Amino acid sequence: MPVNVVQQLMGFPISVDLRDGDRPDADRVFAWLREVDLRFSPFRIDSEVSRYPSVEPSDDLREVLALCDEYERRSGGAFRASLPGRSFDPSAIVKGWAVQRGALMLREADVTRFCVNAGGDVVTAGEPSPGQPWRVGIRHPDNAQQITAVLGIRDGAVATSAAYERGQHIYDGRTGLPAFGLLSVTVHASDLTTADATATAAFALGVDGPEWAAAQEGCLVYAVDTNYRVFRSPELPVVSG
C-alpha cells in the first residue's frame, strides 16, 4: 500500500510519498530532517550554524560550506551565504542537500518509487504507477492557483527560487541588495542539491540567471522574468502547459 506522510518542518510542509516502502522508511527521513533543522537553522541560537565559526564544523557542515563556496565561485559571487552585515545563512544549500540526503536514505532502504516534496522542491525516484512519471507543477509567479507548466519526472529533482512566498529574501552577493530581474526560476537536475543551489544562484544573478543555469551541467531551466518573458530549456520534460 502507498504511504504518504506530511509534516511541517524547516518552516514549510514536507511530504514523503512512498509507493513501495513502509511508514518506518518515511519516519527515518523525517527524523533526519528534524535533526537538520536543529543543527542548521540560522534562526536557532544554539544551532551549529549559528555558532559557526566559533565552533569546529562537523563533517556535514564542512560539506555544506564546500557547496556554498562552489556555487559562490560558479556564480561569480552572486550566490553568497555570508553577506556583509548579515549572519552566516547557508539555508539555500541546506534545504536541497538535506532532502537529497533523505532520498539517499530511502534508496539505501531499497525504496525505488518515491517522491519527497519539501515546500515545492521535489526529488523523485521511479514511477508512481507503471508508465507514468511523477508530475511536478510549476506555479504562476503571480497566482498560486495557476500552473504554468507540468513536468514529468523520473529519477530526478525540481527546485524553484522565487519571491512570491517569502518576499525578497534572495540577495545578489555582488551588491548586497535584493536580487531583481526575475520572478521565478525552476531548475530540473538529477539531484535536489544541484537543482536547489542552481535555482537560487540563478535568481541571484537576475536576468543573466536563466542562461547561466542552463549552462550548468545536467540542468534544465524554466524561468519567468519581470517582463513575464519565459525562458525554457528545449529538453525540459514538459507534459502540459
List the domains of the chain with CATH numbers: 3-240 (3.10.520.10)
In this structure, what C-alpha cell is assigned to residue 208?
543573466
Q: Is the peptide bond before 141 cis (omega within 30 degrees of 0)?
A: no
Is a pLDDT exceeding 90 seen at residue 207? yes
163 falls in which pLDDT band (50, 70, 90)?
A: confident
Q: Is the pTM of this model over 0.75?
A: yes
Phi/psi of residue 3, nearest 5 degrees:
-120, 125
In this structure, what C-alpha cell is assigned to residue 194?
544541484
The residue behind cell 536543529 is: 38
pLDDT digits (tens, 9 = 90+) for 31-71: 999 999 999 999 999 999 999 999 999 999 999 999 999 99
